[in-house]
């Protein structure tokens, strides 16, 4: 069973006049009909809203087959870092509740490196390793936070970019200390409610399982085999109860498109000021293929000729978000390309080709 591609470009958006549009539609059709990724949802956003929308495939292809719809929620994986954690840090900074140059130890006194700042964590320059499977040795914040602190004893902030889940786990705990409430509650109150993101949340309710894209079958993020469906794929986030600064957020296409629109055209009353968005798109660290703003990557070289100031991020499960303020557009691509089994090289190639074709359509 497969679900055919639904594809629509808004009249008057300029997209419909692009000679590259049929190539994009044909490519997406071939992707969906070929079954990889199992599920795909795409939105191009401009200052007026959604200019292009496509979706198709299967939200679940194992056992019970469930077609993708516009209601399908996806495990955002590491997009949690930028949609939730970076956004909340910048909101707190706007209010003066914290500074990006605060030592981590101001908020987490057990952090062993006195010179490491929140900016280091946000730019992946704190010297922390990328990942450790902490969930294999225990669960709960106390156990996992203690293990992170042990790793941090050898982590020296030296200016080099080393992408790290651990840094954003720490930022999640910093936010809880600063804001005085759990991370999921802070996101719901400070980001989701003001932007009208009704279903963008941690720990989606069990009643919405069939409205959620399944992820990996018999993967390495659980202690026992099985299909991950309706709960976070990342093993450490799962061991933390489904809420963490590095992973755990779920969202449907239309709501992530609404978040993206805020980033390309901030308005009075939006959760982020224009200056905060500038920090995302301004180089803070790194060089070559890994240039970093606050939280986000810059210069998506393999994804087409996007203009200077474009910022972007990906998620392990097959999600991505690209924001090009100079072009006035953003691209939301949500897939469950680790379902039922991960094919990371194919995932990277597909993601790059979609964005290259979109650059032809939009720029």
CB 249 within 8 A of CB 83: yes
Whether 100 and 93 have beta carbons less than 8 Å apart is answered as yes
Distance, CA of 70 to chain centre: 18
Please compute the mean of the pLDDT values over residues 162-171 and round it to a whole number. Answer: 98
pLDDT category at 13 given cuts 50, 70, 90 is: confident
Q: What is the mean pLDDT of residues 162-183?
A: 98
pTM value is 0.97
Cα–Cα distance between 199 and 74 in angstroms, integer? 11
Give the model's confidence band at 314: pLDDT under 50 very low, under 70 low, under 90 confident, else very high. very high
Q: Is the pLDDT of residue 233 over 60?
A: yes
pLDDT digits (tens, 9 = 90+) for 322-357: 999 999 999 999 999 999 999 999 999 999 999 999
Mean pLDDT over 48-75 rounds to: 96
214-232 residue pLDDT tens = 999 999 999 999 999 999 9
DSSP state of 207: G
Q: Which DSSP string corresponds to 34-60?
A: HTSSSEEEEEEEETTEEEEEEEEEEEE
Average pLDDT over residues 138-149: 98
Cβ atoms of residues 324 and 330 within 8 Å: yes
Of the candidates 256, 255, 237, 257, the residue with the CA atom closest to the CA atom of residue 247: 237
Task: Name the token pair of 219.
Answer: 């993967």
Residue 226 tokens read as: 């099985």
Which tokens go with 243? 């809420």
Q: Mean pLDDT for the chain?
A: 96
pLDDT at 265: 86
Half-sphere CA count of 321, side-chain side, radius 13 A: 29
Q: Which residue has the tokens 């808004």?
A: 10
Sheet holding 201-202, edge to edge: 73-75, 249-252, 201-202
Mean pLDDT of 252-269: 92
HEC sequence for 58-86: EEECCCCCEECCCCCEEECCCHHHHHHHH
Write out the H or E segment, with its range, that includes residue 5: none
Q: Give me the pLDDT at residue 266, please.
A: 85
What tokens appear for 120 in the block? 């280091």
Q: How far is 323 from 306, CA to CA, in rounded Å? A: 9
Distance between terminal CA atoms of the chain? 36
Q: 273-304, pLDDT tens digit by residue?
A: 999 999 999 999 999 889 999 999 999 999 99
pLDDT of residue 159: 83
Q: What is the mean pLDDT of residues 146-174?
A: 96
Specify the pLDDT at position 267: 82
- The torsion of the CA quartet 30, 13, 41, 304, rounded to 10 degrees, works out to 70
Chain centroid to Cα 20, Å, comes to 27
Q: Taking 70 as the threshold, does the pLDDT of residue 2 lie above it? A: no
Q: Helices (DSSP H) in the chain: which residue ranges?
A: 21-34, 79-80, 87-95, 104-107, 118-122, 141-152, 165-179, 183-187, 193-195, 235-239, 253-264, 274-281, 344-362
Mean pLDDT of 7-11: 96
3-state per-residue secondary structure call for 97-140: CCCCCCEHHHHCCCCCCCCCEHHHHHCCCCCCCCCCCHHHHCCC
Using left for φ > 0, alpha for ψ between -120 and 50, and beta otherwise, residue 170 falls in alpha
């Amino acid at each position: 069973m497969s679900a055919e591609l639904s594809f629509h470009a808004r009249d008057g958006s300029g997209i419909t006049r692009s000679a590259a549009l049929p190539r994009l539609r044909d490519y997406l059709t071939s992707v969906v009909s070929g079954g990889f990724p199992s599920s795909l949802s795409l939105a191009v956003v401009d200052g007026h809203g959604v200019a292009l929308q496509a979706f198709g495939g299967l939200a679940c292809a194992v056992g019970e087959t469930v077609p993708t719809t516009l209601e399908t929620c996806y495990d955002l994986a590491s997009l949690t870092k930028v949609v939730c954690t970076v956004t909340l840090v910048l909101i707190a900074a706007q209010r003066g509740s914290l500074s990006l140059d605060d030592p981590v130890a101001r908020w987490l006194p057990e952090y062993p490196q006195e010179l490491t700042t929140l900016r280091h964590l946000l730019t992946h320059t704190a010297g922390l390793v990328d990942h450790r499977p902490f969930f294999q040795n225990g669960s709960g914040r106390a156990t996992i936070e203690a293990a992170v602190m042990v790793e941090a004893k050898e982590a020296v902030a030296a200016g080099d970019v080393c992408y790290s889940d651990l840094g954003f786990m720490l930022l999640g705990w910093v936010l809880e200390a600063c804001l005085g409430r759990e991370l999921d509650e802070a996101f719901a109150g400070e980001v989701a409610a003001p932007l009208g993101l009704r279903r963008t949340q941690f720990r989606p309710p069990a009643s919405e399982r069939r409205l959620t894209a399944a992820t990996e079958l018999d993967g390495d993020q659980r202690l026992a085999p099985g299909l991950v469906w309706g709960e976070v794929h990342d093993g450490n986030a799962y061991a933390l109860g489904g809420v963490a600064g590095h992973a755990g957020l779920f969202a449907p296409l239309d709501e992530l498109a609404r978040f993206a629109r805020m980033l390309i055209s901030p308005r009075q009353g939006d959760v982020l000021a224009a200056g905060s968005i500038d920090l995302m798109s301004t180089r803070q660290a790194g060089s070559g293929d890994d240039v970093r703003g606050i939280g986000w990557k810059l210069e998506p070289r393999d994804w087409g000729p996007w203009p200077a100031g474009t910022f972007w991020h990906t998620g392990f499960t097959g999600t991505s978000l690209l924001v090009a303020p100079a072009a006035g557009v953003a691209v939301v691509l949500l897939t469950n390309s680790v379902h039922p089994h991960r094919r990371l090289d194919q995932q990277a190639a597909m993601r790059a080709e979609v964005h290259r074709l979109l650059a032809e359509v939009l720029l």
